[in-house]
């Protein structure tokens, strides 16, 4: 079975959804036959990296809401993440563009390390407050996921894997993806959002039965 997942490493529900999907996969009877492929999706392609900027202020300004609303949103997301064992520290998160992080994901995918790089990028951004647009940080994260440092550095200096990122985003547009995480099972059954593990498990079983 093939599971395609569109996500952005700046999306908290994508990390939460990853954990819920993993919980479902652990219960799936044919889990050893499941192939997972991560795909790029930028929630805000025009986002500018602003080191030192408040993530709360950024969220409030983006949606035109009061700062108190943004603080409450962060608290709620942090609590939801904790329910699946994730340790979010959104107070230190860096407002950053994720395009180069997506190029790194594409590089890692080409070496069979797609899931590993997703995990390290999510962890870096949401738990450790890493700037995922900074090249030295991306090299560090790439190495932690199993990539060669020189390979990552060379990729970041050029434009490699730009086409792969754009292809994923165009595909998402063609199939009607409006938000992430977005899961597609066997190119037939779609599940949007960080759904409960039971929903993902049911989708896998249904997709498997319809093969």
SS3 letters across 142-192: HHHCCCCHHHHHHHHHCCCCHHHHHHHHHHHHHCCCCCCCEEEECCCEEEE
Q: Is residue 136 part of a domain?
A: yes
78 close to 90: Cβ distance less than 8 angstroms = yes
Q: Are strands 189-192 and 2-7 parallel, antiparallel or unpaired?
A: unpaired
Q: Is residue 25 part of a domain?
A: yes
DSSP E strand boundaries for the chain: 2-7, 35-40, 182-185, 189-192
Predicted TM-score (pTM) of the model is: 0.96
Between CA 57 and CA 62 the distance in angstroms is 8
Q: Is residue 59 part of a domain?
A: no
Q: Is residue 144 part of a domain?
A: yes
Q: Is residue 61 part of a domain?
A: no
Residues of the chain with pLDDT under 50: none
Q: Are strands 2-7 and 182-185 parallel, antiparallel or unpaired?
A: antiparallel
* CATH code at position 109: 3.40.30.10
Q: Is residue 192 part of a domain?
A: yes
* pLDDT score, position 62: 87
For 211, residues 6+ apart whose C-beta sits below 8 A from its C-beta are 1, 186
124 close to 132: Cβ distance less than 8 angstroms = yes
23 close to 84: Cβ distance less than 8 angstroms = yes
Count up the domains in the chain and report the number: 1
pLDDT in tens, 103-148: 999 999 999 999 999 999 999 999 999 999 999 999 999 999 999 9
Between CA 94 and CA 121 the distance in angstroms is 13
Between CA 180 and CA 13 the distance in angstroms is 8
Residue numbers of the domain that contains 194? 2-45+97-209
* pLDDT score, position 27: 97
Q: Is residue 90 part of a domain?
A: no
Between CA 42 and CA 9 the distance in angstroms is 9
Token pair belonging to 19: 């954990």
Q: Is residue 156 part of a domain?
A: yes
What is the Cα 94 distance to its own chain's centre?
15
* pLDDT score, position 53: 83
* pLDDT score, position 211: 74
């Amino acid at each position: 079975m093939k599971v395609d997942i569109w996500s952005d490493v700046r999306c908290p529900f994508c990390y939460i959804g990853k954990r819920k999907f993993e919980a479902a996969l652990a219960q799936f009877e044919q889990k050893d036959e499941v192939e997972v492929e991560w795909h790029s999706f930028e929630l805000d392609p025009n986002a500018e990296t602003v080191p030192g900027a408040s993530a709360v202020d950024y969220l409030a300004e983006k949606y035109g809401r009061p700062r108190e609303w943004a603080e409450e949103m962060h608290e709620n997301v942090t609590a939801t993440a904790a329910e699946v064992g994730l340790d979010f520290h959104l107070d230190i998160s860096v407002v950053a563009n994720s395009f180069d992080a997506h190029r790194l994901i594409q590089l890692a995918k080409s070496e069979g390390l797609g899931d590993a790089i997703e995990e390290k990028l999510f962890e870096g951004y949401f738990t450790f407050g890493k700037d995922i647009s900074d090249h030295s940080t991306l090299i560090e994260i790439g190495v932690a996921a199993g990539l060669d440092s020189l390979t990552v550095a060379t990729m970041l200096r050029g434009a490699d894997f730009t086409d792969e990122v754009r292809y994923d985003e165009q595909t998402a547009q063609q199939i009607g993806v409006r938000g992430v995480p977005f899961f597609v099972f066997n190119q037939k059954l779609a599940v949007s959002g960080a759904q409960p593990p039971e929903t993902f498990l049911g989708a896998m079983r249904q997709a498997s039965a319809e093969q």
